[in-house]
Amino acid sequence: MSELRAAADRLERLAARTTDGDWRPGGLLASRPEVIAHRPDGSTEHVAEARVNTADWIVALSPAIAPPLVAWLRSAAGEDDPAAAALAAALLDRLP
């Protein structure tokens, strides 16, 4: 269980120093969409322009994370796990 807490703590710290906001695709060229952070105050920032703040986040949540995340969501599907349900809802809101 200490690994779970350590991973949660590190992810929380990384999120705190990453470009904040609701990241969504945007831009004018469909062939080169941009990722734009929409902040609660209405301001926006192109995530690519904030690479110093976002590179570690992108690396941490690379496609290599998908297999264990998928496995956890599937194993939690048979349980009453509010944290897993909240994550699933957030993912469903964002996944194509």
42-62 confidence digits (pLDDT tens): 999 888 888 888 889 999 999
Element (H, E) at 26: strand 22-26
Taking the CA atoms of 96, 61, 20 and 25 in sequence, report the sign of the dihedral they define: negative
Euclidean distance between CA atoms 43 and 8, whole angstroms: 28
Give the start-to-end residue ranges of the domains of the chain.
Answer: 1-61, 63-96
Euclidean distance between CA atoms 45 and 85, whole angstroms: 29
Task: Quote the pTM value.
Answer: 0.79
Q: What is the DSSP letter of 84?
A: H
Q: Residue 37: helix, strand or coil by DSSP?
A: strand
Taking the CA atoms of 8, 12, 13 and 15 in sequence, report the sign of the dihedral they define: positive
The pLDDT of residue 30 is 67
